[in-house]
Amino acid sequence: MTQNVQPLREGQRLRVLVVEDESDIRELIRFNLEREGFAVEEVGDGALALERLERRLPDLVVLDLMLPGMPGLELCRKIRATERSASLPVLIVTARTSEIDRVLGLESGADDYIVKPFSPRELVARIRAVLRRAHPDLAGESRGTYQRGRLTMDFDTYQVFVEGKSRELALREFELLRFFVNHPMRVYSREQLLDQVWGRDTFVEPRTVDVHVRRLRQAIERDDSQPELILTVRSVGYRFNPEALD
């Protein structure tokens, strides 16, 4: 068997820079984004955020408006006015609905906004939507849908249906299932799955794969104590068997 060591674009962790001076909100955002598989960096000051962006660009910025150092709108305008960051996706966080007209005005150039207090679920949905608009090529070969037997995956909306019923999958489980449906019948070790789905620079334990496989089985198998789709290959790893979908 030839091992596919080419990292998939969707397997790389997307990096989000969170610019927010309130540490409890920053923590909340970090916790929820990391749980969904994003790599998160934090900074609590607008001027420091600009310095950080000059060194390295993330894939998306979550930007609070009321900041020490430099106000969020000014930072957003600077991001837009700088050539290398002009198309960097920016999601504004604001506590004041009266600011929204200015936020979405041409002068700031933000991609979208979310009003405090927000639910983690709404935040993640907004971030995904902004990223999809900014990187239509993100899903690469597997854009569109996968449909076989009782399983349907929509790679644009990140929805999964089993026998027509929607199933909630965390981003990581979704990416794992995407990898499996694109590479049926082949056996992958936990380390190979980490490389392909989590990204090569990841520092998670191979056992983490087992946790996500278990959750994925609960979501898509008819009986997760007797899996037919994601098969354990003893002392090696896992194999996806799409024939059990028919």
Q: Find the helix packing angle between 23-35 and 120-134, rounded to 10°.
A: 70
DSSP state of 82: S
Least CB distance from residue 68 to Ca ion, whole Å?
8
Tell me how many residues contact Ca ion (CB under 5 A).
3
Q: Which two tokens stand for residue 144?
A: 């569109």
Minimal CB distance residue for Ca ion: 66
| Peptide bond just before 184 cis, omega within 30 deg | no
Which 4-43 positions form the footprint of Ca ion (CB under 5 A)?
A: 21
Rounded to whole angstroms, the Cα distance separating 52 from 85 reads 12
Coil vs helix vs strand at 76:
helix
Least CB distance from residue 95 to Ca ion, whole Å?
8
Nearer to Ca ion, 66 or 171 (CB): 66
Which 64-123 positions form the footprint of Ca ion (CB under 5 A)?
A: 64, 66
Least CB distance from residue 67 to Ca ion, whole Å?
6
Residue 68, CA distances (Å) to 29, 33, 43, 102 in order: 19, 24, 11, 19
Least CB distance from residue 70 to Ca ion, whole Å?
12
Nearer to Ca ion, 10 or 64 (CB): 64
Q: Which residues bind Ca ion (CB under 5 A)?
A: 21, 64, 66
